[in-house]
Every structure is written in structure tokens, then in C-alpha cells.
Amino acid sequence: MNAPTSAPAFDHNLYAGCAAQIVSHTRELAAKGWTPATAGNFSIRMSADLAAITISGKDKGRLSEADIMVVDMDNRPVATHHRPSAETALHTHLYRRYPDVGAVLHTHSPTQTIAGLLYAPEGRVRLKGYELFKALRGHTTHEKTFDLPVVPNSQDMDELTASVDAVLSEPNTWGYLIAGHGLYAWGKDISEARRHLDAFEFMLGCELEMRRLRG
């Protein structure tokens, strides 16, 4: 674990607003059954250098604003001795890679977990013909295919981050699956990230159902 950094200070009103938004979305996602046990982590960018993120190991259905902390983009806690999410590096990777990303959401729904395992050998879930593509920023038609990347799971965050970095070649990808683990989705703000998360969950559910029907 990286040591807390003394600087930079942050705007506490901005932090409080981010914490309230994270708590609100996280409770809703937990109520859907997408954060079993203590699974899932959630963040909002506060500035070029800082993000508000969930503390590690909390029941995400019972969060309060005090369960949100600040990290810098090198995963170091800022002005707190709390431990940030074990997967903080996956959040900061997206913030560093895409300057316009404002929020990152990570859930472990059964659909996401199963789809990640089933499609891991192909390295992607190929989605085709969905009207719901239009819920993804930059996508305007159902008449296309969309490859949602799937990376192997790892407890080594450097290895996992490198795997993710290697598969994010297409613009407007907005999400990836980790095999047997769950989904990361992001957007310019938490509302857009949530729309992307919900759209992926729906389309993955359809893919699994179609596999079942085909036998």
C-alpha cells in the first residue's frame, strides 16, 4: 500500500458532492444484486490529479459519505489513513488514459461474472444489432457490431492494468469484462457511466439468454 501523500489539498465541497453521488448510485446497484458481499468499487474524478473512491472492503449497499476517500492518480490516499479500493489502479488507469473520463463504476452481477467466464477464450463479447448501442456515447445505430473486451482476471494489479491497457484500442469502448469477476464501465460523469453500465448489463443478459435458447 502506498503511503498517504501530504499534498495536494482538495476542495471539501467538491469531495462531499462526489461522495454523495457515489453513495446514491452504489446503494441502487447493490439493491440490484450487482455488488455481492463487499464486491464493487466506484469513483468520480475530482480534478486532473485526484479522484474520490470507495474505501476497500465495505458492504457497498450500506455505504455512507464517510466511506468515500480521495486518492491521487498514483493510487496514493490523500489526507486520510483509510485504505482505498484494492482495484484503485484500474480506476486511475482510465483517468490517466482518458482525460475526459469523469467516473468509473465496477460491479459483479451474475450476468457479468458468467459472461466474463464464457467469453474469456475469445477475449471479447461480440454484440450485434442492439438498439441499446445508442445508450453508449458515440454510437448512433444498431447496424453494427460492438466488441466488449474480456481480460483474464489477476490479483496482480500491474498485470491486470496492462491486460486492460492492451485491449482498449477502439474509441468509445466504455467498458470491459474481467473473466469470472465483473464489469468496469465509465463515462464523462457518473450518470453517463451508469447508463453505459446498465446498457452493458442488459446486452450481456440478452447474449446469455440467446445462448441458452440456442442450447
Ligand X SMILES: CSC[C@@H](O)[C@@H](O)C(=O)COP(=O)(O)O
Measured distance CA(98)–CA(120) in Å, rounded:
25
Measured distance CA(195)–CA(136) in Å, rounded:
8
* Residue choice 41, 75, 109, 163 for contact with ligand X (CB under 6 A): 41
Note whether 135 binds ligand X by CB under 6 A.
no
Q: How far is the CB of 167 from ligand X (least distance, A)?
A: 19
Measured distance CA(164)–CA(156) in Å, rounded:
12
Q: How far is the CB of 155 from ligand X (least distance, A)?
A: 8
Q: Hey, CA dihedral for 167, 102, 115, 213, is it positive or negative? A: negative
* Residue choice 57, 126, 129, 172 for contact with ligand X (CB under 6 A): 57
Q: How far is the CB of 157 from ligand X (least distance, A)?
A: 11
Whichever of 41 and 173 has its CB closer to ligand X, that residue is 41
Q: How far is the CB of 90 from ligand X (least distance, A)?
A: 10
Binding mask 69-88 for ligand X (x = CB under 6 A): ----------------xxx-
Note whether 37 binds ligand X by CB under 6 A.
yes
- Beta strands of the chain (E only): which ranges? 41-45, 50-54, 68-72, 103-107, 124-128, 145-151, 175-178, 182-187
Q: How far is the CB of 209 from ligand X (least distance, A)?
A: 25
Whichever of 155 and 169 has its CB closer to ligand X, that residue is 155
Note whether 40 binds ligand X by CB under 6 A.
yes
Q: How many residues bind ligand X (CB under 6 A)?
A: 12
Binding-site sequence positions for Zn(2+): 106, 108
Residue identified by cell 448489463 is 201
**Region near ligand X per CB under 6 A, out of 39-47, 144-152, 187-195, 201-209:** 39-47
CB-CB neighbours of 146 under 10 Å:
23
Alpha carbon 174 to its chain centroid, in Å, reads 9
| Residues in Cβ contact with 215 at an 8 Å cutoff, skipping those fewer than 6 apart | none
- What single-letter DSSP state applies at residue 49? S
Is 103 within 8 Å of 193 (Cβ atoms)? yes
**Which residues in this chain contact ligand X in the complex, by CB under 6 A?**
37-41, 54, 56-57, 85-87, 106
